[in-house]
A and B are shown apart, each in its own frame.
Chain A
Amino acid sequence: MREFLIILFSAILVNNFVLTRFLGLCPFLGVSKNIKTALGMSYAVIFVMIISTAITWPLFNYILYPRDLAYMQTVIFILVIASLVQITEMFLKKLIPPLYSSLGIFLPLITTNCAILGLTILNIDEGYSFVESMIHAVGAGIGFMLALVLFSGIRTKLEHSEVPRMMQGLPIALVSASLIAIAFYGFKDLIEQLFG
């Protein structure tokens, strides 16, 4: 149980996917202009992270690795993620229309989101078991949501503040992201403090 909590909290706070590992920066900067779209994007990311982990982990450990095909990891994983996103989109459209209407716009956009591919590769690199990988996926997703929602809150405030002409738009957003990253850097020793 303790190991699971360590994985969960370090994925959310210490090794936050966006602010520490720099994965998924495109949506982080692209859809963070208001909180509503930020939330929609985050739900879609969490959803896809969980199902793609649930499929890529067994695929690697039971099919690719025993057959010495580990070097095909990147090709197979991106293929799985791309088709998974398509299938999920079709399923949601037929079966759960309300969920589709809230996540539908975001799903096609996250095929090439590096957070998803990064997560599935990290699970393999870190040698996590299946349960650990699933917990890592949940933690990564929640961490993504946390960063995105915090950032969109700041950006809505930024729109009403006076920024020097040169820094307007993206530069000031990146500098504020840097400040959030400093705040998250403060969590560095949290895991040892809590579980050490």
Chain B
Amino acid sequence: MASQKERPKNKPPLLNEITKGVLRENPVFRLLLGICPALAVTTSVENSLGMGIASTFVLLSANLVVSLLRNIIPSKVRIPAFIIIISGFVTVVHMVIQAFFPDLNESLGIYIPLITVNCIILGRAEIFASKRPPFPSVLDGLGMGIGYTVALVSIGLVREVLGSGAILGFQFISADAYIRPLMIMILPPGGFFVFGILVAFAQKLSERIENGSSTGDTDLCAGAVNDRSACVICGGCSLGDRAKTTPMDPEQAKHHKRGDSE
């Protein structure tokens, strides 16, 4: 652990683009982005996996296209342009799932079109792909997508095991056994609960890895700390703090929104 921490430059930089999304900057547990589908569809491992793969595909392709067009899109209209690119790929994914996996389409429902407004995808386009060449951007999309899938599947696993006593549909606790599955875990309250506990563990783990160096960033959208524009994208994260101390005046808000402050 320690040697890894001391010499991160020894790792090939491209490999780093992939691995950072899985643990260190895990989109769900560390950056807290894209948590709406992370709670809504994770009632079973199968659904989580489907959602994770669909999101990974969109992330990867959107990152590639945004990166290729990064010198063409004028910076003033970049956010709408990114949204159009993303929603185009979401439509593709939606049609593929409708055609080949009708069951998955049934259980994911409106959360497939809602991949469009998943903060991770727009966030990666804005923070990473719009400033870097295509190859690293694709790797970044792949890494973040894998990290997202891993997070979804781990939430789904806990919920499926506790909630319906099964893994991937294989029942190992029968419904009339002495120990009954906790139905509440696959209901909405269970989603919040399991996610809360897993975030606590992720905080603990990263604290240990980084040797307790003030990682108690209990604030939302840790991603917004590095890059201010992330908070704009992610529907109001981290606004809570700022609004409490000094209310942002409209002009400043506008400025902030355009992302010109960089």
Residues of A within 8 A of B (CB): 19-27, 29-34, 36-37, 41, 71-75, 78-79, 82-83, 93, 100-101, 104-106, 108-114, 117-118, 121-122, 125, 165-175, 177-179, 181-182, 185
Partner of B122, one of A41, A112, A118: A112
Interface hub of B94, B117, B196 (most chain A Cβ within 10 A): B117
Q: Whose C-beta in chain B lies nearest to the C-beta of A33?
A: B240
Residue contact A24 to B36, C-beta cutoff 8 Å: yes
Q: Quote the shortest CB–CB distance from B74 to chain A (angstroms).
A: 16
Residue contact B232 to A93, C-beta cutoff 8 Å: no
Cα A146 to Cα B203 with chains together (Å): 30
Cα A110 to Cα B235 with chains together (Å): 5
Q: Quote the shortest CB–CB distance from B40 to chain A (angstroms).
A: 4
Contacts A22-B188, A26-B119, A179-B189 given: A170-B220 contact, CB under 8 Å? yes
Work out how many contacts link A and B, with CB atoms closer than 8 A. 188
Cα A182 to Cα B190 with chains together (Å): 9
Residue contact A122 to B110, C-beta cutoff 8 Å: yes
Q: Whose C-beta in chain B lies nearest to the C-beta of A125?
A: B110
Cα A79 to Cα B80 with chains together (Å): 8
Partner of A181, one of B90, B189, B236: B189
Residue contact A117 to B113, C-beta cutoff 8 Å: yes
Contacts A37-B244, A74-B94, A169-B219 given: A117-B116 contact, CB under 8 Å? yes
Which residues of A have CB within 8 Å of B136?
none
Residue contact B239 to A112, C-beta cutoff 8 Å: no
Q: Quote the shortest CB–CB distance from A175 to chain B (angstroms).
A: 4
Give 1 or 0 for each of B27-56: 1 = CB within 8 Å of chain A CB. 000001001110110000000000000000
Task: Tell me the dominant secondary structure on chain B's binding face.
Answer: helix
Residue contact B237 to A29, C-beta cutoff 8 Å: yes
Residue contact B237 to A104, C-beta cutoff 8 Å: no
Residue contact A30 to B250, C-beta cutoff 8 Å: no
Contact-residue bracket for chain B: 35 or more
Partner of A105, one of B193, B238, B253: B253
Residue contact A74 to B116, C-beta cutoff 8 Å: yes
Cα A3 to Cα B244 with chains together (Å): 41
Residue contact A166 to B200, C-beta cutoff 8 Å: yes
6 contacts between A and B (CB under 8 A): A19-B188, A30-B220, A30-B234, A36-B243, A169-B216, A171-B199
Which residues of A have CB within 8 Å of B118?
114
Contacts A31-B240, A171-B200, A174-B192 given: A24-B253 contact, CB under 8 Å? no
Residue contact B235 to A24, C-beta cutoff 8 Å: yes
Cα A31 to Cα B247 with chains together (Å): 13
Contacts A22-B191, A174-B196 given: A30-B83 contact, CB under 8 Å? no
Contacts A117-B116, A167-B200, A169-B216 given: A25-B35 contact, CB under 8 Å? yes
